[in-house]
Each structure stands twice: as C-alpha cells, then as structure tokens.
Amino acid sequence: MPVNSAKLTQLAGSVSLLALDVDGVLSDGQLYFGNQGEEIKAFNSLDGQGIKMLQASGVKVAIVTGRSSNIVTQRAQQLGIQLVLQGREDKLAALHELTQHLQLDWSEMAYMGDDLPDLGAIIKVGLGITLPNAAHPMAQHSQYVTQRCGGQGAVREVCDLIMQAQGTWDAALVPYLNTEVPTCA
C-alpha cells in the first residue's frame, strides 16, 4: 500500500540496491520478434541516464528478469550494470542471492516490478515499487507507484526519487549545469 511522502523519503534514503524487472519496467512490456526469431526491445534513454546517475551516486543497480535475451545483456553492459540475473522466474530467490552476495539487508533493497512474478519481491524488500499500468494487485502491495509507465521514464523517476532522498541529486546535476562555452584560441 502506498505510503506518505515522509515514509517514502525514509525508505528511499535507505536503498543501497535498486533491482529492476525488464519487461514492463525497463521496456513497455511488448514483446517484439523478427522473422528470424530475434527479440527486439525498446529502452527509454531517460531510464538509462537515471541508472547511470544512480550508480555514480553509489547505489548499485541489478536486473532480475524471468526471460533471457542478448539484448538485455547488451543494454546492461551499455549502462554499466554488473548484476544481471536472467531466466529467473523466482524473483524472490534471485534477490535472496543478491542479499547474500552483497551482504545487504532486505531493508536496503528496492525492487521494481509490474506483474505477479514480481509480487513476492515487492513485498519482501524495503521499498517495493510498481507502475500505474501494472497488474491489479501490485499497487496495493507496493510502497510506491510511479507516475510514468514502464519503458516511458518510470525507472528514471525512481532513480531521481532515491537520489533526492539520499541527498545526492544536487551533486549529480553539477556536471550538467556548466553553461560556459569553450573559446577557441
């Protein structure tokens, strides 16, 4: 069940790891296949920038997905995500492995998912997140429902939320605020 803003800020402030589902979260949830059977996914550039900024702030990011595809591996590499668990339909078991590997408490984890295979993980972590277009029961068990839909900047919204709660947002903006134009000699 969504929480008030003070509680949300407290939960987001404790996040050391943001774990993300792919289909319906990092993508719009549509599955596209070419004539040769190749899988095609569209990823949002706002999400990518948010993930890079969040990782630069010290928060780890993981991908935990039930499907396996080369395109997810490629996208993770582009974004510098080293924790990629594919073909993992039991998301809760996958997150348990991450807690052991990273020596994290469940309260230090956020998980973002959109459908029933994600529900156990959303309930268990410190900050469970879903989307407005998620399966019906997801919102009632999540602490936060994004404004944006999957594949449309929802992950960026969460990255920004975590950085703002942790006081790292302003520092993340500094490189982009330089308005000096270089001069030629």
pLDDT, tens digit, for every residue of 115-139?
999 999 999 999 999 999 999 899 9
83 CB neighbour count, 10 Å cutoff: 17
Per-residue confidence (pLDDT) for residue 37, from 0 to 100: 83
Sequence-separated (6 or more) residues with CB below 8 Å from residue 171: 57
179 CB neighbour count, 10 Å cutoff: 5
Mean predicted confidence (pLDDT) in 159-178: 94
Contact 81, 51 (CB under 8 A): yes
Q: The pTM is what?
A: 0.93
Task: Compute the chain's Rg from CA coordinates.
Answer: 17
Mean pLDDT, rounded, of the chain: 94
Q: Check whether 59 has a pLDDT greater than 70.
A: yes
Per-residue confidence (pLDDT) for residue 133, from 0 to 100: 94
Confidence category of residue 93, pLDDT binned at 50, 70, 90: very high
What does each C-alpha distance from 101 to 23, 37, 57, 67 come to in angstroms?
25, 35, 20, 22
Sequence-separated (6 or more) residues with CB below 8 Å from residue 172: 53, 56, 57, 163
Confidence category of residue 2, pLDDT binned at 50, 70, 90: low
120 CB neighbour count, 10 Å cutoff: 18
With CA atoms as reference, report the closest residue to 24 among 64, 56, 59.
64
Per-residue confidence (pLDDT) for residue 38, from 0 to 100: 83
The amino acid present at 77, given as its one-letter code, is Q
Confidence category of residue 147, pLDDT binned at 50, 70, 90: very high
Contact 133, 150 (CB under 8 A): yes
